[in-house]
Amino acid sequence: MIKAAELFPDSLIWAIVSVFVVGIGCVIGLMAVMKNYGLNDGAVLAFSTLIFLLMLGVESVFIWLLLSRRKKSDRLSKRRNKLPESLSRPNSEHSPNT
> Is residue 69 very low, low, confident or very high in pLDDT (cuts 50, 70, 90)?
confident
Domain range for 34 is 9-71
In a domain, 78, yes or no: no
Question: Residue 27: is its pLDDT beyond 80?
Answer: yes
From CA 54, how far away is CA 50, in angstroms rounded? 6
In a domain, 81, yes or no: no
Contacts of 91 (CB under 8 A, 6+ apart): none
In a domain, 98, yes or no: no
Rounded to the nearest integer, the mean pLDDT of the chain is 80
Contact by Cβ (8 Å): 50, 34: no
Question: Residue 33: is its pLDDT beyond 90?
Answer: yes
Q: How many domains does the chain have?
A: 1
- pTM value is 0.61
Question: H-type helices in the chain, by residue range?
Answer: 9-36, 41-82, 85-88
In a domain, 24, yes or no: yes
State how far the alpha carbon of 66 is from the alpha carbons of 53, 61, 72, in Å: 20, 9, 10
What is the DSSP-derived secondary structure letter of residue 85? H
In a domain, 16, yes or no: yes
